[in-house]
Structure 1
């Protein structure tokens, strides 16, 4: 232990890295009745803590090793750390990255002067290829986590935290991939502050460290998830496993929806957008509070990286409400008859907000709708399903159904051979309870809703697509009722996209 502490305290990381801030999440702390702080490793020059370990290792190489250049395998953040360090020390760097690596990370490596080879679908496959290339080129391999100097470099995060937070500290929540960050931090924290819990956080589909600790030895996963690409590691390191086995208190596993809610929580606290792996610490912290019900504690989460592809934000936003347990998804069967939709919305939805509604006429006897509702807890899902059943509505809870969340919700609809004299309208509905019921009241009569699509967008107005079966002689009355309703709308009956895919 004296050796690793000495390596941490004499690390050369500050020749390249900065001491990052420890920020209070004031609103979140008040909401959850605990003091929550965020260690902002997203502030590093490469937007990730990985610079610390990479630079510390490279800066301690011999002149002969530096002259041969360095090579590594990485899903992105370690790659940027190596490229940045190599550029600062004016040596050659070759990085092997999985083909699934977000473009923002690949371009960043190139911007720092690193050469890139894309190979494999995850870190482990890229690492296997590095062994071949390193042997051919003679370049010095810089391991992303299983190296004493890399671990020591990452351990400087713990040194900063204990200086920045000298008072009460109950637990630190740390993202876990190969284990470099948590092993260095855990060794330092447990030596100086053994009462502080060190809690690792892993995705359920990339939980190599949790499984290894349970097995008592490093295990190899058959496959890993790629949403949190920064921790998509099939096998943890030998050194990192030994340190985690001795000093880490527990590992929490979290799912993708929970991880998306963690990204949102960090954004609300700091207005920064972290990558999925970067939000693991916060996500684990929130889950810990939710499951233990603790209050009055002081917790720190590590924001480990912010190399987020902008295009991924759409997916994150889509899954956040479920991750926060604020949305439930259901398939519900209702009678295909006038008034049934209004009864469903008025009597069963009640004051709950509808977050999503997808329907397309396919049977004159019954209608299958895909609906999302706002909830306040997971227990409310059970209550709502029971209420539906008691009211005679067959239903299925799809909140945890990955197929439904990822694909089916976007595929409800298409053409219908039963639809006659359909008119298509695009509406702006006010995002208030009862907006749909008011629309149904305004269009009451013999008009049948043949298509309905709505998804909460987070604005003041919801965008809704509605198809109505309407006889020619009824058009004038329909337009009059829509004008009286006052909702902004656009008729899309002649839209070519409607002709191609829905009519």
Structure 2
């Protein structure tokens, strides 16, 4: 990877930036060609100025809103470019793909526009809105496996047996070129950008954008930092980059299902290791907190995979890399989120931000105890949302009960005030995580 540059280095660029990019499987010319193919097919998505993120980071921050793209994510770009280049014979045989949702919808939409039959394999337990949306675009959906990697294997087997053309979600040069068109749009919308932050699953989006942005920056004689972000429970790129070879993960588990990929693509990996300035990881709590932040401060509905760039900014990951950014862009890669998952993530995000407190309290089973606790909480101006009352439990003595209380608070300091009042009143609240 290249070395991150501070803001003082961005004016003229380094010698490496001014040199020709290394021979890569995708070029700027490929991306410019892809952009012509996508004319009239995709929506050039807006760049939204986030004052709230700017105040927190000390940088001018814009959000590239691919959550507003057709089919709800950037995936339609790469899928359409790949399929538009198929021969008539290949189109007649149909296409097959695998995805947890976004690539599925992108392929289904592209297939409907090009008049191609599409069969999509999705993991069992896929979010119902993504499943239904894929069907609504006219694709035949098959459920297989417990994760994207298992669905991918089955889709590849189906392609080999049926003769259908396999449309890989990220490990294909045409797909990477299609995703790279986002980079061209960003540079036109924010010519002063010096740092770009976006999520990584298999790597197709990051790879394509890196080629576009780095080559354009090279021609301008300047440096633009490109930082990839992974969920820490689905982070295959850090060990792969350290080993200088693709290293698959044995287990992947994250709420960010759109980037829950256990093995980098060979083509994206080749590009990312040459062009990307750094890869960082963010926790599940940080992802949930970023989703809530965007809902509240930017009025944006974004899926967990689409908020990891914002999570990295909120967590100060650029500073950890020694990057001082003046003009930052974070890509919101998709907005296809299951409402049930959103409910859980919002609760988790509020808890991570200290605004949702759950406590368990053991007390004597006698009149007035629950009323007294309710009074204390009311006096601290916390808002009780749920109370669970139990007389049965392995740790309970005869005549004791346990209550579990969920409440909304104004933040960490307010939560501590509530806990302090309960303790000073003789109770022993145990915070539940």
Q: Which runs of 5+ in 1 are unaligned?
A: 400-503
**Within the alignment, does 1:276 sit opposite 2:300 as a pair?**
no
Q: Distance in 1 between matches of 2:239 and 2:119?
A: 32
**Within the alignment, does 1:190 sit opposite 2:218 as a pair?**
no
Q: Distance in 2 between matches of 1:96 and 1:386?
A: 52
Q: Distance in 2 between matches of 1:49 and 1:199?
A: 18
**Within the alignment, does 1:162 sit opposite 2:187 as a pair?**
yes
User: Number of residue pairs matched?
Assistant: 397
Q: Partner residue of 2:355?
A: 326
**1:387-402 → structure 2 map (5 Å cutoff):** 394=428, 396-399=430-433
**Within the alignment, does 1:85 sit opposite 2:114 as a pair?**
no
Q: Partner residue of 2:71?
A: 46
**1:277-296 → structure 2 map (5 Å cutoff):** 277-288=305-316
The Cα shift of 1:6 comes to 1.0
Relative to structure 1, is the Cα distance of residues 220 and 289 closer, same or farther in structure 2, using a 3 angstrom cutoff?
closer
Q: Distance in 1 between matches of 2:228 and 2:91?
A: 34
Q: Distance in 1 between matches of 2:92 and 2:374?
A: 71
CA contact (8 A) 1:259 1:323 kept: no
Relative to structure 1, is the Cα distance of residues 28 and 141 closer, same or farther in structure 2, using a 3 angstrom cutoff?
same
Range with bigger deviation, 354-363 or 231-240: 354-363
CA contact (8 A) 2:389 2:404 kept: no
Q: Partner residue of 1:307?
A: 336
SS of structure 1 residue aligned to 2:61: strand
Q: Partner residue of 2:29?
A: 6
Q: Alignment partner for residue 389 of structure 2, among 357, 360, 374?
A: 360
Q: Alignment partner for residue 235 of structure 1, among 241, 247, 263?
A: 263
Range with bigger deviation, 205-214 or 47-56: 205-214
The Cα shift of 1:34 comes to 3.7
Q: Partner residue of 2:3?
A: none
Relative to structure 1, is the Cα distance of residues 270 and 395 closer, same or farther in structure 2, using a 3 angstrom cutoff?
closer
Q: Partner residue of 1:176?
A: 200
Higher relative CO (CA 8 A, sep ≥ 6), structure 1 or 2? 2
Q: Deviations over 1:272-293 (max 9, x none)?
A: 3222222222222222279769
Q: Alignment partner for residue 220 of structure 1, among 229, 248, 258?
A: 248
The Cα shift of 1:123 comes to 0.9
Q: Deviations over 1:451-483 (max 9, x none)?
A: xxxxxxxxxxxxxxxxxxxxxxxxxxxxxxxxx
Q: Alignment partner for residue 148 of structure 2, among 115, 120, 123?
A: 123
> TM-score scaled to structure 2, two decimals?
0.79
Q: Distance in 1 between matches of 2:228 and 2:378?
A: 39
**1:256-271 → structure 2 map (5 Å cutoff):** 256-271=284-299
SS of structure 2 residue aligned to 1:181: helix
CA contact (8 A) 2:210 2:275 kept: yes
**Within the alignment, does 1:134 sit opposite 2:159 as a pair?**
yes
SS of structure 2 residue aligned to 1:299: strand
CA contact (8 A) 2:347 2:356 kept: no
Q: Distance in 1 between matches of 2:295 and 2:162?
A: 43
Q: Distance in 2 between matches of 1:353 and 1:120?
A: 44
CA contact (8 A) 2:280 2:317 kept: no
Q: Distance in 2 between matches of 1:14 and 1:176?
A: 26
The Cα shift of 1:5 comes to 1.1
RMSD: 3.4
CA contact (8 A) 2:380 2:417 kept: no
Q: Partner residue of 2:130?
A: 105
Largest Rg, 1 or 2:
1
Q: Deviations over 1:213-267 (max 9, x none)?
A: 2443222222222522211212110111122222223333223332222222222
Q: Partner residue of 2:272?
A: 244
Relative to structure 1, is the Cα distance of residues 130 and 25 closer, same or farther in structure 2, using a 3 angstrom cutoff?
same
Q: Distance in 1 between matches of 2:318 and 2:354?
A: 11
> TM-score scaled to structure 1, two decimals?
0.69
Q: Alignment partner for residue 95 of structure 1, among 112, 120, 125?
A: 120
CA contact (8 A) 2:290 2:311 kept: yes
Q: Partner residue of 1:57?
A: 82
Q: Distance in 2 between matches of 1:320 and 1:103?
A: 22
Q: Distance in 1 between matches of 2:384 and 2:285?
A: 16
Q: Distance in 1 between matches of 2:400 and 2:357?
A: 22
